[in-house]
Amino acid sequence: MDVNTQTNPPSMPRIGDKAPAFKAVTTQGEINFPDQYAGNWVILFSHPADFTPVCTSEFMTFATMEDQFAKANCKLVGLSVDGLYSHIAWLRTIKDKIVYRGMKNVEVKFPLIEDITMEVAKTYGMIQPGESTTKAVRAVFVIDPKGIIRTIIYYPLSLGRNFDELYRVLIALQTADAFSVATPADWRPGDEVIVPPAGSCGVAKERMENKQDMTCHDWFFCTKKLDKDKVLGTILKK
């Protein structure tokens, strides 16, 4: 990495920031991001290049799960620094020719942004020069219905993402919001959730003496049951 990049790191969006706004051409027409997604969760993700194998496996997987994400009120938006006609040709090839792990005739219905100027990719820190100066890394931004960035995950070029994990992240964020709880390591719906830490000595004492519906491993670490049906019934569209 060059010295200048180390001393003057580029500014990148952070968790809790408003998602930087942009207008872009996509395979589904123009989009006005994030305003047109207000009221929805959205996953904005980048991939290095069209017509490459890891990216193809990712797009087939994500497109196959699009309805599952939609039920959790979440829309998907992809990006690479390729042009629109390359995107269209690649998505047509995926649908018409590629059979992979039981997936075939996969139609990518979510928008794929063309970003040949790298303007959006650079704004979102998707170009990481130590990895590539000409391709976006595999970035994932989970953005909430108010346009706030809630999770950022980056993967290198060679590593395909785990889309079950991205779905788990989405459901965990929504669960934390809906039930005012946190979610422990490896949490999945139906597992115990973490009650916010005691904010006073009185509450800490009460928690240890009168645990009510909680399991307290110590005063600062209390969990409680949260039924899977309650979680999914609250979050998922009927």
Q: Which of 55, 74, 216, 222 is catalytic?
A: 55
CB 25 within 8 A of CB 112: no
Q: What is the spatial distance between Cα 226 and Cα 191, in angstroms, rounded to a whole number?
A: 7
Minimum distance, C-beta of residue 62 to ligand BEZ, in the bound complex (Å): 13
Q: Which is nearer to ligand BEZ, 49 or 65 (CB)?
A: 49
Contact letters for ligand BEZ, residues 172-211 (x by CB under 6 A)? ----------------------------------------
CB 19 within 8 A of CB 61: no
Q: Residue 86 interacts with ligand BEZ (CB under 6 A)?
A: no
Binding to ligand BEZ, residues 41-80 (CB under 6 A): 48-49, 52-55
55 counts as catalytic: yes
Count residues binding ligand BEZ (CB under 6 A). 9
Q: What are the strands of the beta sheet with 22-26, ordered from one edge? A: 29-33, 22-26, 112-114, 74-80, 41-46, 138-143, 149-155
Q: Which residues contact 106 (CB under 8 A, 6 or more apart)?
A: 59, 60, 63, 64, 94, 95, 98
Binding to ligand BEZ, residues 141-160 (CB under 6 A): 157-158
Binding to ligand BEZ, residues 18-37 (CB under 6 A): none
> Which two structure tokens, joined as six digits, stand for 12?
């990148």
Q: What is the spatial distance between Cα 222 and Cα 213, in angstroms, rounded to a whole number?
A: 10
Q: Which is nearer to ligand BEZ, 158 or 210 (CB)?
A: 158
**Which residue type sits at 196?**
P
Minimum distance, C-beta of residue 52 to ligand BEZ, in the bound complex (Å): 3
Query: How is 183-205 classified by DSSP, letter by letter?
Result: --TT--TTS-EEPPPP-SHHHHH
CB 171 within 8 A of CB 189: yes
Q: Which is nearer to ligand BEZ, 52 or 68 (CB)?
A: 52
Q: Which is nearer to ligand BEZ, 10 or 156 (CB)?
A: 156
Minimum distance, C-beta of residue 53 to ligand BEZ, in the bound complex (Å): 4
Per CB under 6 A, residues contacting ligand BEZ are: 48-49, 52-55, 135, 157-158
Show which residues are catalytic. 55
